[in-house]
């Protein structure tokens, strides 16, 4: 059973309605988080709460709840949703403002929406490495804020799909940033590389979790700039996100990565990641 929480009320997701004057609808003026629920528990909840507060503060929207209140609403949503595995989606907008004014309302009552929906379980055998295409990252300069305005990400993803690929790998000034809804890792000669955190990419919770697992396992990792040429000769590439966890990439443009199948370091990371859910 899926559930929605909207501004203090519980309901079926299809019954949740917001005003046409909501600034989320009018201006895309809001932020969000996506969390995974495994075995009835929100995975890496505390990290998501930290990023939620960071995003709110970056868009100058005071948090409508304390950490304790967020935890208790989120945990109640998981209980009421009674789905596992599931995705918990949390969105906060600046609420209803005067129609068509970019000026922030003096007193804003943020709109808070949380939904919990069933997530598919993937057998490892079903994991098929992605075919990715490289594209210019033309998004705005604050990819580190998890904003609800995903127009550019959607355009890039759909261009990639129309060209016969699964997704796009994005480059800004010749350096890899991320994919349209995930962070990117590559492996070269046994070292794992991923772009450093900056204002041009989302500071993925899964990215940090994977770096932590690799550090414990003693695998050498470097957070540094990755060029287009370097990426194309990677031994392995994977993307990471809450939804895709750690997903292998077998092809970039017309270059096969490794032998096109999920690599040995991916196998290790996937094993560590699956174990870390327990
Ligand atoms: N996507 N980069 C972008 C642009 C993203 O949208 C996401 C997440 C990530 C990975 O972040 P995390 O590991 O914290 O999920 C990186 C989510 C899942 C989404 O929009 O559905």
User: From ligand 1's centre to the CA of 242, what distance in Å?
Assistant: 6
Q: What digits encode the pLDDT tens for the residues 70-108?
A: 999 999 999 999 999 999 999 999 999 877 888 898 888
**For the chain, what is the mean pLDDT?**
96
Task: At 251, list the tokens.
Answer: 């092809």
Give pLDDT, residue 121. Answer: 85
d(CA 45, CA 52): 10
Report the 10 Å Cβ neighbour count for 142.
Answer: 12
pTM of the model: 0.97
- What's the CA angle centered on 247, arms 191 and 125, to 5 degrees? 115
Give pLDDT, residue 99. Answer: 73
Give pLDDT, residue 107. Answer: 81
Asked if residue 265 has pLDDT above 80, the reply is: yes
d(CA 68, CA 183): 29
Give pLDDT, residue 126. Answer: 87
Gyration radius of the chain over CA positions: 19
User: From ligand 1's centre to the CA of 143, what distance in Å?
Assistant: 11
Q: How remote is the C-alpha of 189 from its chain's centroid?
A: 28
Compute the residue count for the chain.
278
d(CA 147, CA 24): 10
* Ordered structural domains, the chain, with CATH: 3-118 (3.30.470.10), 130-276 (3.20.10.10)
Asked if residue 199 has pLDDT above 90, the reply is: yes
Instruction: Flag the least confident range among 95-99, 146-150, 266-270, 271-275.
Output: 95-99
Give pLDDT, residue 97. Answer: 85
Active-site residue list: 146
Give pLDDT, residue 220. Answer: 98
Q: What digits encode the pLDDT tens for the residues 135-158?
A: 999 999 999 999 999 999 999 999
Cis peptide before 248 (omega within 30 of 0): no
Task: At 142, list the tokens.
Answer: 């604050």
Nearest atom within ligand 1 for CA of residue 183:
16
Question: Which residues line the pocket of ligand 1, CB cutoff 6 A?
Answer: 34, 153, 178, 181-183, 202, 204-207, 240-243
Give the closest residue to 225 by CA, choosing from 181, 189, 172.
172
Q: What digits encode the pLDDT tens for the residues 3-22?
A: 999 999 999 999 999 999 99
Q: Can you say whether the dihedral through the CA atoms of 139, 143, 147, 150 is positive or negative?
A: positive
Question: Ligand 1: which of 242, 245, 246, 269 to mutate, most ligand atoms within 8 Å of CB?
Answer: 242
Asked if residue 1 has pLDDT above 90, the reply is: no
DSSP-based three-state secondary structure for 43:
coil
Query: What is the pLDDT averaged over residues 218-246?
Result: 98
User: From ligand 1's centre to the CA of 171, what distance in Å?
Assistant: 17
Task: At 46, list the tokens.
Answer: 């505390």
CB 132 within 8 A of CB 179: yes
Query: What is the pLDDT averaged over residues 188-209?
Result: 98
- Please give the span between the terminal C-alpha atoms of the chain, in angstroms, as a whole number: 23
Question: Ligand 1: which of 119, 204, 212 to mutate, most ligand atoms within 8 Å of CB?
Answer: 204
């Amino acid at each position: 059973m899926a559930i929605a929480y909207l501004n203090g009320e519980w309901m079926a997701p299809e019954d949740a309605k917001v005003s046409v004057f909501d600034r989320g609808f009018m201006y895309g003026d809001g932020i969000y988080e996506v969390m995974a629920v495994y075995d009835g528990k929100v995975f890496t909840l505390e990290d998501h709460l930290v990023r939620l507060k960071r995003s709110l503060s970056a868009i100058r929207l005071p948090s409508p709840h304390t950490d304790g209140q967020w935890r208790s609403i989120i945990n109640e949503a998981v209980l009421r949703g009674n789905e596992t595995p599931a995705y918990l989606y949390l969105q906060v907008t600046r609420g209803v403002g005067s129609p068509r004014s970019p000026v922030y309302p003096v007193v804003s009552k943020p709109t808070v929406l949380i939904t919990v929906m069933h997530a598919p379980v993937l057998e490892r055998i079903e994991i098929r490495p992605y075919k990715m295409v490289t594209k210019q990252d033309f998004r705005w300069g604050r990819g580190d804020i998890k904003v609800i305005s995903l127009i550019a990400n959607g355009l890039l993803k759909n261009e990639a799909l129309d060209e016969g690929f699964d997704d796009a790998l994005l480059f800004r000034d010749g350096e890899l940033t991320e994919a349209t809804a995930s962070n990117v890792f590559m492996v070269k000669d046994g070292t794992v590389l991923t772009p450093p955190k900056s204002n041009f990419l989302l500071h993925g919770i899964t990215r940090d979790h994977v770096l932590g697992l690799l550090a414990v396992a003693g695998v050498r990792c470097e957070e540094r700039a990755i060029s287009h040429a370097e990426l194309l000769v990677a031994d392995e590439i994977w993307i990471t996100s809450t939804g895709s966890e750690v997903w292998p990439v077998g092809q970039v443009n017309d270059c096969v990565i490794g032998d096109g199948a999920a690599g040995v370091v991916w196998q290790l990371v996937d094993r560590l990641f699956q174990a870390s859910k327990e």
